[in-house]
Chain A
C-alpha cells in the first residue's frame, strides 16, 4: 500500500519521528506539523489521505483540528486516527460525531498504528473500486 500520504500532527517531536519513520519504512509519504493550525494549512495544501493527530496540543487541540477539517469541504472526508495520552477525555459520541476512525493511547504500538492505517487505505480502495 505505498504511495499514500499521511499527515502526522503532534507537539511532541519524538512521537512525530517514531510514526514518520515507521510509515516511511513502509512506503508511505509523511508530512508533519507540530500544531493544529499549521496542520490545517498543510491539510488544505497537501490533501493527505490520512491524518494522525495528537489530542493535547497548544494553539489548537486535536479535536479542534478535526472539527475544522470536517467543516471544510476539501478535507471533510479525510480519515483521522487519534494518538493520545488522554484517550479517556474523548467520549464515544464525540468520536462518532467527528468521524474519528480510531483512537490509540500512548504508549502505542507503532506496528498496530501501521496496521490501522493499512486497513483504512484498503477500505478506501475498496470503495473507490466499487
Chain B
C-alpha cells in the first residue's frame, strides 16, 4: 500500500471505527482488511461470525473481482454467499489519484452478517430491534456500505489536495530558511568566496536543477571578465559562455526584464545555446552605482552588473518560472551586497594604508639619508616578529600591529625642526633633546586616533633600552613592551646599515657584531637572538631588491593592506 493510501486509512480510521460501532446495533460484524491481507479493524456485533481467515479470503475475492474495475468512480458492493446461512457484504475502498486518474484499491470493508438462521442480539430498543438479515435489510446494509465507499473516495481526493498544498508549503519553508541563512551569514570579510559557495549549495538543494553557478567580474590581465566564483552540480561555463551570458542578460535587463529566461518549451529557443542546455535562467548581481566601472556594460538605467547567477536544466519541471526568478533574484541580491561590501572594505584598507605610506614617506624624505627607512623598519620588524620562538610565538594580529608600528615609529619627527634633522655636524645637547622627543610626539599623535591606540606603546618605546638608559622613560628590562624591543632593534639595524651624514654605511657583518655586543644593554636577548639566528642576508637582499615575495609572504603592498585590516576590522 503506498503512502497516500496508508495515510488515508489512518485519517479515516476513526470514521471506519465509528461506522463499525454503529453497525453493532444491527447485530452484524464489520471488518476492514488491507490489500496485503491484514485485518486492520474488526468490530464484533455479537453474532457468530466468520473467522478472520475467512474474512481475509472474502476480501481477496472481492479485490480480484472488483479491484481493477474500469469505472473507478463507482463503488460496488458484492454479496457473497457462503454455505446456506452465511452472508458477507464486501466493497473495495478505493483511492483515485488526480494525477493518474486510476483507481487504486486501498482496503476492503466487509459487513459480516454471519449465520442468518440464528437470531440477532440487539442493543437498542428502537425500530431496528430484532432485525435479522432479511433481504430488505441486506439492501439497507448494502446502501450503507456503498455510502462508506463513496465517502472514502471523497476523503482520498481531499487528502491528495492537502498533500499538494503541504508540498508547496514545505518548499516555501525551505526557501525561507535559505534566505534567512544567507542574511545571517553575511559578514563583511575579505573576498573569500565561501559565502557564494554556500549560496550555490543551498540553492541547489532546494531547487532541483542540474547546475548553478555564480559569476563575478574580475580583472584578468587588466581586462574585465566574468569568471566563475562558485558553483554546484553539473555546470560548465568557459570564457566564451560567460561573455555570451553577460551580453544576453544585459539585453534582457535593458528591455526591462528581471532575468534571462529561456527554454526548449518556448521552442524554438529565443537564443542559441549549447546542446546540453534544455532550459536556463540567469539573474544579474547589481553593484553600487559608480561613475566608472570595469565594464562598459552599464545598463540603461545606470545599474552596474557586477556578476550573475545562472542555473541550467530544471529537473522536476520543464522550465524555470517567475517564482524561480524571485528566489534567484533574492539570493543574487544578497550575493551582490556581500561582494560590494567586501570590495568597499578592501578599498577602505587600501586607502588607509596608502595614506599612511604617503605620510611616512614624506617624513622620511625630509632627510635624504632616511628615505625608505620607515618601510624598511616595518619590514624588518615583521621579520623579527615572525621568528620569535620559545614561548613568545605571536598571533598574526600582533605581528600586523608590530609591522604598522614599525611603519609609523618615526612619525613624531614631523614635530622636529628640519634644520636639526638635516644637520651635518654633531648635534648639541639641546638639539639632541628635541630629537629625543619624537617617540612621545609620535605616540601623542597616534593616541588621538582610536584605531591606532594598540600601536602607541610600541611607537613610544622604540628608543628604550633594556639597561634603562633609553628614552623617553628609561624603562628597564621587561618594562619595555615587546613591540618596542622589536622595532628598536629593527630601527638600529637599518640605521647601522645606512649611510649617514657623519659616517658611511656599515656592512651587514659589522652590524650583526654590533647587535651581538648590544645584547643585555641596548637589546633584549631573546629578540636579538631571533634576529641573529635568522637568515639576515636573505632579508638584506630582499630589502635592497624592493621587497619581493619571500617565503610565501605577500608583497609589501598586499601585506600592508592586510595589516591595516587588523586595526580597522
Contacts and interface: CB of A to CB of B under 8 A. Distances in A.
Interface of A: 14, 17-18, 20-22, 24-25, 29-32, 107-112
B541 interface: no
Contacts of B162: 17
A14 B162 CA distance: 9
A118 B10 CA distance: 23
Contacts of B10: 30-32
> Considering residues A14, A20, A21, A29, which has the most beta carbons from chain B within 10 angstroms of its beta carbon?
A21
A17 B159 CA distance: 10
Contacts of A14: 165-166, 169
A24 B169 contact: no
Given A108-B177, A110-B174, A17 B3 contact: no
Contacts of A112: 177
Nearest to A22: B170
A29 B166 contact: no
Given A17-B162, A111-B206, A25 B3 contact: yes
A17 B6 contact: no
> Considering residues B4, B166, B167, B205, which has the most beta carbons from chain A within 10 angstroms of its beta carbon?
B166
A20 B205 contact: no
A21 B166 contact: yes
5 contacts: A14-B169, A21-B170, A22-B170, A107-B176, A110-B174
Given A29-B6, A30-B7, A111-B206, A17 B165 contact: yes
Contacts of A31: 10
A20 B6 contact: no
Contacts of A29: 6
B169 A17 contact: yes
Task: Please provide the 4 A-B residue pairs with the shortest distance between their CB atoms, ordered closest to farther.
Answer: A17-B166, A24-B3, A109-B177, A21-B166
B7 A107 contact: no
Contacts of B169: 14, 17-18
A114 to B, nearest CB: 10
Contacts of B173: 18, 107-110
A2 B6 CA distance: 14
> Considering residues A29, A107, A112, which has the most beta carbons from chain B within 10 angstroms of its beta carbon?
A107
Interface in B101-143: none
B294 to A, nearest CB: 37
B163 interface: yes
A46 to B, nearest CB: 10
What is the interface of chain B mostly: helix, strand, loop, or mixed? helix
Interface string B144-177: 0000000000000000001101110110011011
Contacts, number: 44
B163 A21 contact: yes
What is the interface of chain A mostly: helix, strand, loop, or mixed? helix
Contacts of A24: 3-4, 6-7
A43 to B, nearest CB: 15
A20 B206 CA distance: 18
B15 to A, nearest CB: 15
Given A14-B169, A111-B174, 15 more contacts: A14-B165, A17-B163, A17-B165, A18-B169, A18-B170, A21-B163, A24-B4, A31-B10, A32-B10, A107-B173, A107-B177, A108-B173, A108-B177, A109-B174, A111-B205
Interface in B1-20: 3-4, 6-7, 10
A31 B14 CA distance: 13
Nearest to A112: B177
A29 B5 CA distance: 11
A20 B7 contact: yes
A24 B159 CA distance: 13
Contacts of A110: 170, 173-174
Contact of B166 (A18, A107, A109): A18
A21 B167 contact: yes
Nearest to B174: A109
A20 B173 CA distance: 14
A110 B206 CA distance: 10
A20 B165 CA distance: 12
Nearest to A106: B173
Contacts of B170: 18, 21-22, 110
A105 to B, nearest CB: 10
B429 to A, nearest CB: 69
Contacts of B6: 24, 29
A30 B176 CA distance: 25
Interface in B348-392: none
Nearest to A31: B10
A30 B165 CA distance: 18
A22 B3 CA distance: 11
Contacts of A32: 10
A20 B166 contact: yes
A25 B170 CA distance: 12
B18 to A, nearest CB: 16
B161 to A, nearest CB: 10
Nearest to A23: B3
A80 B257 CA distance: 48
A25 B167 CA distance: 10
Contacts of A21: 163, 166-167, 170
Interface string B170-202: 100110110000000000000000000000000
A1 to B, nearest CB: 15
A110 to B, nearest CB: 5
> Considering residues B10, B163, B173, which has the most beta carbons from chain A within 10 angstroms of its beta carbon?
B173
Contacts of A108: 173, 177
A100 B150 CA distance: 43
